[in-house]
Amino acid sequence: MGLFSFLTQELAIDLGTANTIIIYNDKIVVDEPSIVAIDHTTSKLIAIGERARQMHGKTHENIRTIRPLRDGVIADFNAAEQMIRGMVKLINTKNRFFSPSLRMVVCIPSGSTEVELRAVRDSAEHAGGRDVYMIYEPMAASLGIGLDVEAPDGSMVVDIGGGTSEIAVIALGGIVCNKSIRIAGDGFTADIQAYMRQQHNIKIGDRTAEDVKIAVGSALPDLENPPADYVVRGPNLMTALPIEVPVSYQEIAHCLDKSISKIETAILGVLEQTPPELYADIVQKGIYLSGGGALLRGLDKRFTDRINIPFHVAEDPLHAVARGTGIALKNVDRFPFLVR
Ligand SMILES: Nc1ncnc2c1ncn2[C@@H]1O[C@H](COP(=O)(O)OP(=O)(O)O)[C@@H](O)[C@H]1O
Ligand SMILES: [Mg+2]
């Protein structure tokens, strides 16, 4: 404590497949899409985050936009490292007195292999971390939701991010059983793209498909507060002439049905593996939803009806994991479940 703790700069990093969030001094200081734009010829970083996202799908052959994390794992080590460094640098420009951090807690997917774990650690160290800890995502999500992870009763969290949906049961400070599937927000977006092509003969990019998802995305065909139709513009697949198609939330509910069913099956699979005492706790408390996918209209209701256990959407689901990672950062000396 004392002088040392005063000198220790601390960062919590949620390295998501879709969004990277950094907490410094209890505040979210970086919240950017996990994308980098790299010059193909020199391998130099051109842009990161939102600026790189705006280039996505609009680049020429010399610029490449890369999402370093795909399907919940690091798909491009070099780009991941450039991204972590760049994101940490963003803090420098916002906080003048920030010196390279010494202590970091980084959130990692529960399915990470040893190699992936080491890659994240290396990247964090290269970005200035001296004292790097890692925390598994479901644990961070639970902390962020405000659950008592060390209590002797079971909690279940389902985090639906960009690349993966992570389902886990937590008790006594550990993950009792879990499953990670590669169906999440990106999959929903791809479903919408395919649907627009097949049903409406219109070609749309993944950014437009994501806009459709946010505007009229739904897990149920009968919502209490339905959103207005969303007009999609793009080229007709056959003629290349511009067309406009109004899309309703019922159509999107229909087109996402299969993917959502797969997540339901995975949740049921984890419940099946759950020891009975913990199962009883979960039925009583309900299941918590976090991650951006939790914002899909009607998802909690659909899961509740289908699985017969109440589902609760975390407050601010997009930031639950980052907040939990921030809580872990403050308790590194006390929490035994952090990975070194
Ligand atoms: N309102 C919304 N409705 C449906 N999906 C959403 C909404 N807002 C964000 N998303 C989706 O959530 C995903 C990102 O969630 P996030 O938890 O940040 O993922 P990750 O942790 O993998 O970075 C993206 O696929 C995004 O399209
Ligand atoms: Mg996440």
- Please give the share of the chain, as a percent, with pLDDT higher than 70: 95
Alpha-carbon span 340 to 338, nearest angstrom:
6
Sign of CA dihedral 245, 247, 251, 252: positive
For ligand 1, say whether the CB of 49 is within 6 Å of any of its atoms. Answer: no
Find tokens 């700069």 and name the residue: 9
What integer pLDDT is reported at residue 1 of this predicted model?
A: 40
Crossing angle of helices 249-273 and 185-200, in 10° steps, is 140
What integer pLDDT is reported at residue 8 of this predicted model?
A: 62
What integer pLDDT is reported at residue 162 of this predicted model?
A: 95
* 34 contact partners, CB below 8 Å, separation of at least 6: 15, 16, 17, 18, 19, 20, 67, 68, 69, 83, 162
Q: Is 320 helix (H, G, I), strand (E, B) or coil?
A: helix
Mean pLDDT throughout 142-169?
A: 96
Ligand 1 atom nearest the C-alpha of 17 is 22
Q: How far is the CA of 182 from the centre of ligand 2 (A)?
A: 13
What integer pLDDT is reported at residue 5 of this predicted model?
A: 44
Domain 3-140+321-330 maps to which CATH number in 1.10.760.10, 3.40.50.720, 3.30.420.40, 1.20.140.10?
Answer: 3.30.420.40
Two tokens, residue 289: 């939803």
- Per mean pLDDT, which range of 99-113, 223-237, 258-272, 318-332 is the poorest? 99-113
What integer pLDDT is reported at residue 96 of this predicted model?
A: 57
What integer pLDDT is reported at residue 327 of this predicted model?
A: 97
Q: How far is the CA of 130 from the centre of ligand 2 (A)?
A: 24
Alpha-carbon span 3 to 173, nearest angstrom:
31
For residue 4, what pLDDT band results from cuts at 50, 70 and 90?
A: very low
Range(s) for CATH 3.90.640.10 in the chain? 185-255
Give the residue whose CA is nearest to atom 5 of ligand 1: 293
Q: How far is the CA of 316 from the centre of ligand 1 (A)?
A: 12
Sign of CA dihedral 96, 99, 103, 104: positive
* 60-104 pLDDT, tens digit each: 888 999 999 887 778 888 898 899 989 988 886 666 555 655 899
Ligand 1 atom nearest the C-alpha of 163 is 22
Q: How far is the CA of 135 from the centre of ligand 2 (A)?
A: 12
What integer pLDDT is reported at residue 52 of this predicted model?
A: 95
Ligand 1 atom nearest the C-alpha of 14 is 21
Crossing angle of helices 114-126 and 77-94, in 10° steps, is 40
For residue 340, what pLDDT band results from cuts at 50, 70 and 90?
A: confident
> 185-255 maps to which CATH number?
3.90.640.10
pLDDT > 90? residue 123:
no
Alpha-carbon span 103 to 93, nearest angstrom:
19
- Cβ contacts of 13-16, under 8 Å, gap ≥ 24: 13/84, 13/87, 13/104, 13/105, 13/106, 13/107, 13/124, 13/325, 14/107, 14/140, 14/321, 14/322, 14/325, 15/69, 15/80, 15/84, 15/106, 15/107, 15/108, 15/120, 16/69, 16/161, 16/162, 16/321
For residue 336, what pLDDT band results from cuts at 50, 70 and 90?
A: confident
Q: Is 184 helix (H, G, I), strand (E, B) or coil?
A: coil
Crossing angle of helices 249-273 and 299-307, in 10° steps, is 50
Closest ligand, as measured to the CA of 293: 1
Sign of CA dihedral 193, 181, 143, 106: negative
What integer pLDDT is reported at residue 73 of this predicted model?
A: 79
| Pairing, β 311-313 against β 287-290 | parallel
What integer pLDDT is reported at residue 74 of this predicted model?
A: 83
Ligand 1 atom nearest the C-alpha of 20 is 23
DSSP state for residue 121 in the 8-state scheme: H
Range(s) for CATH 3.30.420.40 in the chain? 3-140+321-330, 152-183+259-314
| Pairing, β 69-70 against β 45-48 | unpaired
152-183+259-314 adopts what CATH topology? Answer: Nucleotidyltransferase; domain 5 (3.30.420)
What integer pLDDT is reported at residue 58 of this predicted model?
A: 81
Q: What's the mean per-residue pLDDT of the chain?
A: 92
> pTM of this prediction?
0.94
